[in-house]
């Protein structure tokens, strides 16, 4: 069934061609941040002249800098007592809120279904806000119910709704400085001239950790299918 808001919007793609400053709130950890890349790519494609700022946990500054072809700025978010990703006091959050930029044309909440985050992001000044709303809790044509699917799917669905279609493939760009650092690193320097696969089996959340036997089987399958070394 078609979402009635799709018919109600005055501008069918309100973000396309935006030239102002766009803030993206996504205060997650590594795996979830990597899943944000298709949405960032879609925004840059739709708004090539805009200034895009990612608002995330302090650790993510270095990761986001890797996507400088999509993102202009990074703003370190100290956390909030209502969010589980990091322990923080209200005083640290209030200092962040008071010092946050006042010139956002759009603030896009890509952190979750909106139960806690919409109230938090709504305290920051912006001309318009977009994101997800749970259970019809917000009547706004720039908000969508949080859809099911892989972690990349909801994020990309919202950006497609606002700015247009884009592919969902992930990417992890390597720059010249990465190659230089790898050559200087032992024992990984031996792998530099040979194809290899890196497997990262961890997760901060114990409920999201898969069994070690799963990764062992995956490593065996990768080696048998590709013949590449697995780290």
pLDDT score at 8: 44
> How far is residue 116's CA from residue 27's CA, in Å, rounded to a whole number?
13
Q: Which of 158, 160, 222, 168 is nearest to 196 (CA)?
A: 222
- Statement to judge: residues 54 and 146 lie in one domain: yes
Mean pLDDT of all residues belonging to the chain: 85
State the angle between helix axes of 37-46 and 152-163 in degrees (0 to 180), rounded to the nearest 10: 10
Across the range 14-24, mean pLDDT stands at 95
Query: Which region among 43-47, 132-136, 155-159 has the lowest average model confidence (pLDDT)?
Result: 132-136
CATH classification of the domain holding 131: 3.40.50.2000
Please give the order of strands across the beta sheet that includes 104-109.
Answer: 73-76, 51-56, 21-25, 104-109, 126-132, 143-144
- Statement to judge: residues 128 and 33 lie in one domain: yes
Query: Which region among 81-85, 176-180, 200-204 has the lowest average model confidence (pLDDT)?
Result: 200-204
> How far is residue 212's CA from residue 216's CA, in Å, rounded to a whole number?
6
pLDDT score at 2: 41
- Statement to judge: residues 20 and 122 lie in one domain: yes
> How far is residue 55's CA from residue 32's CA, in Å, rounded to a whole number?
14
> How far is residue 8's CA from residue 185's CA, in Å, rounded to a whole number?
56
The answer on pLDDT for 45 being more than 50 is: yes
- Statement to judge: residues 72 and 96 lie in one domain: yes
- Statement to judge: residues 155 and 208 lie in one domain: no
> How far is residue 171's CA from residue 45's CA, in Å, rounded to a whole number?
15
Whether residue 168 lies inside any domain: the answer is: no
Whether residue 170 lies inside any domain: the answer is: no
Give the tens place of pLDDT for each residue, 85-117. Answer: 888 788 888 999 999 899 999 999 999 899 889
Q: Which of 46, 37, 52, 33 is nearest to 101 (CA)?
A: 52
Segments forming the whole domain that contains residue 187: 176-230
pLDDT score at 6: 43
Across the range 14-38, mean pLDDT stands at 94
Whether residue 204 lies inside any domain: the answer is: yes
The answer on pLDDT for 9 being more than 50 is: no
Q: Which of 110, 137, 163 is the last residue of a domain?
A: 163
Q: How many domains does the chain have?
A: 2
Report how far Cα 163 is from the mean position of its chain's Cα atoms.
16
The answer on pLDDT for 56 being more than 80 is: yes
Q: Which of 141, 163, 185 is the last residue of a domain?
A: 163
- Statement to judge: residues 115 and 206 lie in one domain: no
> How far is residue 10's CA from residue 142's CA, in Å, rounded to a whole number?
11
Query: Which region among 31-35, 158-162, 182-186 has the lowest average model confidence (pLDDT)?
Result: 182-186
- Statement to judge: residues 104 and 182 lie in one domain: no
């Amino acid at each position: 069934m078609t979402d009635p808001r799709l018919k109600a919007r005055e501008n069918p793609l309100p973000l396309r061609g935006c030239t102002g400053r766009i803030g993206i709130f996504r205060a997650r950890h590594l795996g979830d941040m990597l899943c944000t890349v298709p949405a960032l790519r879609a925004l840059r494609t739709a708004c090539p002249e805009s200034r895009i700022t990612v608002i995330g946990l302090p650790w993510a500054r270095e990761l986001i800098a890797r996507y400088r072809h999509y993102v202009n700025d990074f703003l370190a978010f100290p956390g909030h007592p209502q969010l589980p990703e990091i322990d923080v006091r209200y005083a640290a959050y209030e200092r962040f809120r008071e010092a946050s930029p006042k010139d956002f044309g759009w603030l896009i909440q890509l952190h979750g279904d909106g139960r806690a985050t919409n109230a938090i992001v709504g305290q920051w000044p912006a001309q318009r806000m977009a994101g997800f709303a749970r259970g019809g809790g917000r009547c706004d044509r720039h908000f969508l119910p949080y859809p099911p699917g892989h972690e990349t799917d909801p994020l990309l669905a919202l950006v497609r709704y606002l700015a247009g279609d884009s592919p969902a493939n992930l990417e992890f760009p390597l720059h010249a400085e990465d190659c230089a650092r790898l050559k200087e690193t032992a024992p990984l320097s031996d792998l530099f001239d040979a194809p290899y696969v890196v497997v990262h089996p961890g997760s901060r959340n114990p409920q999201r950790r898969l069994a070690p036997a799963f990764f062992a089987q995956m490593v065996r399958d990768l080696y048998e299918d590709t013949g590449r070394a697995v780290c």
